[in-house]
Amino acid sequence: MRIDIITVLPSLFSPVLEASVIGRALASGVLEIVVHDLRDWASDKHRTTDDYPFGGGPGMVMKPEPVLQAVQDVLGKSSTEATVVVLSPQGRRLDQELVRELAARPRLVMICGRYEGFDERILSCADVEVSVGDYVLTGGELPALVLVDAVSRLQPGVLGHEESAADESFSDGLLEYPQYTRPSSYAGMDVPEVLTSGDHARIAAWRRRESVRRTAERRPDLIEHADLTEEERAFAGRVIDGDE
């Protein structure tokens, strides 16, 4: 997968992109990420990318010409079909379903806003606007990194164990079951006996039940659309009602 990021703060990216799993994916070539400095498309000597809002009001607005020219030039550099993502608190809220959709695309171009946001005409280039949540950040760089991380770890070969993405929270509409590691007993807190039993069928059944329980307790809103058996749905209902 190739990802292009257009930003006025390119230096924010390298510490995160060079570290850990993404760093290894970049080094191995599974992932290619190019960060572009939007100011390279500014036309004045001050490299201006923002201007006052028409109609007045506080703050500055991102100018359309540098962004739209940058997108056109970045898209023109490759024939791979690209999906243009604008990071915006007004966009579709990011969840694992949207992450999966975007992770399946061969190429993403992400546009990071700053100041009071985008001149509305910039949105004409967007295939999708993505929000990382119902709160406002100072810029689109952290949201872009969130999205880069989430889509990267779904690329084949990026995670050490292919199962680790398949098993975790939201992969099947449920939160993941509780996890434990050594020691089996610490400060009076013991690991559930089943996990040290070596009985794989019992362990799988326990994990599934605890996954349903945890989701019903913490995110009952997910239960309605989760893929559950009749018995599991009844169990979730009892958990939600406080009977389990």
Ligand X SMILES: C[S@@+](CC[C@H](N)C(=O)[O-])C[C@H]1O[C@@H](n2cnc3c(N)ncnc32)[C@H](O)[C@@H]1O
Q: Shortest Cβ contact with ligand X: which residue? A: 113
Question: In the set 6, 87, 158, 216, which binds ligand X (CB under 6 A)?
Answer: 87
Q: How far is the CB of 138 from ligand X (least distance, A)?
A: 6
Least Cα distance to 6 among 44, 49, 60, 59 occurs for 49
Least Cα distance to 68 among 109, 27, 101, 115 occurs for 109
**5 makes contact with ligand X (CB under 6 A):** no
Q: Tell me the window of 15-23, 28-36, 71-79, 88-96 that interacts with ligand X (CB under 6 A).
A: 88-96
Q: How far is the CB of 118 from ligand X (least distance, A)?
A: 6
Residue closer to ligand X by CB (options 115, 170) is 115
Residue ranges in 19-48 that form contacts with ligand X under rule CB under 6 A: none
Q: How far is the CB of 48 from ligand X (least distance, A)?
A: 17
**88 makes contact with ligand X (CB under 6 A):** yes
Whether omega for the bond prior to residue 183 falls within 30 degrees of 0, making it cis, is yes
Alpha helices by DSSP H, listed for the chain, are 14-17, 20-28, 64-76, 96-103, 141-152, 162-167, 200-218, 220-223, 230-240
**CA torsion angle for 69, 71, 75, 76 (degrees, to 10)?**
10
- Any long-range contacts for 18-24 (C-beta under 8 Å, 24+ apart)? 21/152, 21/153, 21/158, 21/159, 22/148, 22/149, 22/152, 22/158, 24/158
**137 makes contact with ligand X (CB under 6 A):** yes
**85 makes contact with ligand X (CB under 6 A):** no
**66 makes contact with ligand X (CB under 6 A):** no
Residue closer to ligand X by CB (options 54, 135) is 135
Q: How many residues bind ligand X (CB under 6 A)?
A: 20
Question: In the set 19, 34, 104, 136, which binds ligand X (CB under 6 A)?
Answer: 136
Gap between the Cα atoms of 39 and 44, Å rounded? 10
Q: Which residues bind ligand X (CB under 6 A)?
A: 87-90, 112-114, 116-118, 131-133, 135-140, 143
